[in-house]
Structures are given as structure tokens and as C-alpha cells.
């Protein structure tokens, strides 16, 4: 992205946040619409359970709206929300008193796209193995890989979300990918 494009995106986000602060429902809806998938993914990757992740997603947005006065645009709205989502999901995870068996097969939509049934079955099977293996990684590696691969976050942004340095995020990503290769070999 050019500097002009970045500045335009930042100005647009700033205006959206200002309207959301003022209680503009269309702006609030837009904030949710733009970011709920990322927030849900973060919560799911921490918790591993769809229902808890959905609850954590809702809690994250409610907390964020209540704390919107504290957002000053020094990071992007997305990384700010994802940081709240991380705290919220970890809190939910700690509070689980009767820890249920973690769902071993995450709910995924294996994208096949082929017309060859044999190939389709193979792709689906590999995708499910990969999704399962991803949930077996240590949390920081799991989150670094998820957000790099699925959300396209930079290592700097991942570091901001996880409260680590850009270098640590990069290392976690590469270690996670290496571990995945071993698990899938």
C-alpha cells in the first residue's frame, strides 16, 4: 500500500471510530462487520471451543465499545480489538472450572474446489489434519501461524496483539510452521 492509501485508510478508520463513540448504530455495525471474524478466530484459536469462542467474541466487542474512549489510534482498530480478544479469551479459558474435552476436530470448511472426488477427499483429509495439528501447537505459535496465514497480519502486528516483539512473533511463526510440518509428515 502506498503512503497515501495508508493515510486514507487510517482517516477512514478514525472517522468510523468517532462515529461509533458517538453511538452511531451504523458505525457500530460496521465495526462489528469488519472485525468479528478476526476476533472470533482469535478467541477460537485460544479456546478451541466454538461456543466459548462465540461468547468471548461478544464480550470482546462489548468491552471494546465501553472502552472506546481509550482508543487513540496508535495501533489499528483491528490489532486493538484482537488484543482485547486475547485477554478475554484467556480469561474465559482460565475460568473454565469443569474443563470439557476439547473438540479435537475444529469446525472448518475444507475448501476443495475440485471435481475429482478422490482428490477432493484427499484435500479435505489433509485440511482436517492440518486444522487438528494447528490446535496442538503451543498457544503463541498457534496464534502466530493462524494470524499470519488466515488473517495476513504482519509479524509486527502479531507482536502488538500478543504483547511480544516483532522478532518473537516471527520466531513463533517459523517454529509453529516447522512443528506443523513435523506433525503432518
Partner 1 sequence: MNMGCEFFADALLERAAGVLEPERSARLDAHLADCEECGEALRTIAALKAAPLEVPAGLEDRVRSAVREAARPVAPERAGGVISPQRRWRGRWRPWAVPLAAAAAAVGIWLGVQAPDTSDVDQAPDLVAFEEYDPYGDWPADGLFIADQPVLSELSVEELEYLLRELES
Please, what is the minimum distance in Å from the beta carbon of residue 94 to partner 1? 8
Q: Would you say 63 and 120 are in contact if contact means Cβ atoms under 8 Å apart? A: no
- Residue 108 Cβ, how far from partner 1 at the closest point, in Å? 4
Rank residues 16 and 134 by Cβ distance to partner 1 and give the closer one. Answer: 134
**Helix 166-184 crosses helix 155-162 at what angle (to 10 degrees)?**
100
Q: Specify the residue, 25 or 101, whose C-beta has the smaller distance to partner 1.
A: 25
User: Residue 115 CB, nearest distance to partner 1 (Å)?
Assistant: 16
Spatial CA neighbour of 138 closest among 109, 111, 164: 164
Chain residues binding partner 1 by CB under 8 A are: 20, 23, 25, 28-29, 31-33, 36-37, 40-41, 44, 50, 54, 57-59, 61-63, 65-75, 80, 83-84, 87-88, 90-91, 94-95, 106-112, 123-124, 126-131, 134, 145, 148-150, 152, 174, 177-178, 180-181, 184-185
Query: Considering beta carbons, is residue 33 or 101 the nearer one to partner 1?
Result: 33
Give 131-134 contacts, CB < 8 A, sequence gap 24+. Answer: 131/105, 131/106, 132/104, 132/105, 132/106, 133/180, 133/183, 133/184, 134/45, 134/106, 134/180
Nearer to partner 1, 12 or 125 (CB): 125
Min dist. Cβ of residue 175 to partner 1 (A): 10
**Cα maximum dimension of the chain:** 55
Sign of CA dihedral 110, 106, 130, 164: positive
Amino acid at each position: 500500500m502506498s503512503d497515501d492509501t495508508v493515510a486514507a485508510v487510517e482517516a477512514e478508520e478514525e472517522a468510523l471510530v468517532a462515529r461509533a463513540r458517538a453511538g452511531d448504530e451504523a458505525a457500530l455495525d460496521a465495526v462489528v462487520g469488519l472485525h468479528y471474524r478476526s476476533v472470533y478466530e482469535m478467541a477460537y484459536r485460544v479456546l478451541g471451543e466454538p461456543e466459548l469462542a462465540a461468547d468471548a467474541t461478544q464480550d470482546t466487542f462489548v468491552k471494546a465499545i465501553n472502552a472506546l474512549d481509550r482508543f487513540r489510534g496508535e495501533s489499528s482498530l483491528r490489532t486493538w480489538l484482537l488484543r482485547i480478544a486475547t485477554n478475554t479469551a484467556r480469561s474465559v479459558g482460565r475460568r473454565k472450572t469443569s474443563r470439557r474435552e476439547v473438540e479435537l476436530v475444529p469446525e472448518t470448511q475444507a475448501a476443495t474446489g475440485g471435481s475429482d472426488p478422490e482428490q477432493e477427499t484427499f484435500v479435505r483429509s489433509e485440511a482436517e489434519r492440518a486444522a487438528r495439528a494447528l490446535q496442538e501447537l503451543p498457544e503463541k505459535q498457534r496464534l502466530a501461524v493462524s494470524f499470519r496465514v488466515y488473517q495476513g497480519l504482519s509479524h509486527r502486528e502479531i507482536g502488538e496483539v500478543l504483547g511480544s516483539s516483532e522478532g518473537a512473533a516471527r520466531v513463533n511463526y517459523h517454529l509453529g510452521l516447522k512443528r506443523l510440518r513435523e506433525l503432518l509428515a
